[in-house]
Every structure is written in structure tokens, then in C-alpha cells.
A and B are shown apart, each in its own frame.
Chain A
């Protein structure tokens, strides 16, 4: 069974630009969550999608948005990038109440 796939693995963007990250969950998993990891902050929850609907949202500004498609694949978008958005963005999928499986992440660098 393929794991959670995130693309791209690395990305460099300029301040003010926007970026879209992609996540393909494990086949059969309908829930996809996104997390931001920065040094000293651990993993911060961004949002969770389930069956194309945002089910939960963390404490991030509106520049961070996401969506989920009918095949459960999810995208995360960050607009008007700031230097502080440089981080590792992790996607996790699961089916049922427990058992999150994480992808390897997308390392975003904003210059």
C-alpha cells in the first residue's frame, strides 16, 4: 500500500508570491490534515479535510487555505508569502478515529 505522497519535496519562493502544495493520501483514507513544522514550534495544525469538507481549522491567517478533491487528494495554498512561512509542511491521512500517517513533507523556503 503506497504511503502518503507529498509534492514537491522542496520549493523556493519569493516573498509576496503564492504557493500550492499537494498531498495524496493513502488509498481509502478520507481524512487529510496539514501541519506546519518550524524550529522551536513543533508541529502546528493548519486544517483537516474530510470528504471534501474542511472539518477543523487551526490558528493560522487566511493566507493559508486548502481544499480536498473527490479522490481525497488535497492541496494547500499559501498566498502573499512571508519569510516566516518558511517551514516543513506535513500532510497526514487517516481512516477512522486514530492512526495518522504522515508524508515526508514539503520544505518551503521563502526568500
Chain B
């Protein structure tokens, strides 16, 4: 049972435009959400996170939005750059419930076209 879902396996965006990656979750106990970026033959690299007490967190070109009522979060990358081309994983954990492990989505492959 996939508790974190990324329904778009791939996304192509022109350089300079906005990339929006989406993620849905089913477990209402999740209170901490993260985005990881992964290049081939490397481990995932932490990108940005958000706690459930917030609805937005921004770090440079990356912004994560959280809609708790819809159990939905999204990652916005503006402006998109060719170096952003990678697989992006959404992850969630239920910290307050003592479950520290991360539940990952299946990933979205982003291709930024120069």
C-alpha cells in the first residue's frame, strides 16, 4: 500500500520556466515532508522539507507547498535549469508518532530542456 504517491512518472519543462512536481499522501499521521533529488548512480540528496505546521517553505529557487486538508504537497522550481534534470522523490514521516522512517513516493523524472 503506497502511502505516498507521485502520479506523474515524468515531466518535461523548458529552461527558465516553472517546474511543478506533485505528491499526495494518505496517512494523516504524517507531519514532516521532504523532497529528495536523485541523479543516476548516486544516492538521493536532500532538497527541501516542510513541517505540517507550515503551508509553505522556500529555499532559493525551490518552494514546497503543503495542503493538509487535501493531503497534497508540491515542489515548485523557478526558474528551471538543465542541471535540475533528475528524479525527484517526495517523502513523509510521522515524527510525533515516533515513526522516524521515511515513506517515499515512486519518483518523478524531471527533464529541463535547454
Chain A residue numbers with a CB within 8 Å of B43 are 4, 6, 90, 92, 102-105
Known: A42-B107, A43-B89, A98-B32. A90 touches B95 (CB 8 A): no
Interface size class of B (residues with CB under 8 A): 20 to 34
Residues 36-57 of chain B, each 1 if its beta carbon lies under 8 Å from chain A, else 0: 1000011111100100000000
Chain B residue numbers with a CB within 8 Å of A40 are 106
Chain B residue numbers with a CB within 8 Å of A90 are 43-44
Q: Across the interface, do A56 and B99 meet the contact criterion of CB distance under 8 Å? A: yes
**A42 CA to B102 CA in the complex, in Å?**
12
Chain B residue numbers with a CB within 8 Å of A35 are 102, 104
- Do most interface residues of chain B lie in helix, strand or loop, or is the interface mixed? strand
Q: How far is the CB of A37 from chain B (nearest CB, A)?
A: 8
Interface size on A, residues (CB 8 A): 26
A48: CB under 8 A from chain B? yes
Q: How far is the CB of B108 from chain A (nearest CB, A)?
A: 10
**Which A residues from 82 to 111 make CB contacts under 8 A with B?**
90, 92, 97-105
In this complex, what residue of A is CB-closest to B99? A56
Q: How far is the CB of A32 from chain B (nearest CB, A)?
A: 12
Report which A residues bind B (CB closer than 8 A).
4, 6, 31, 33, 35, 40-45, 48, 55-56, 58, 90, 92, 97-105
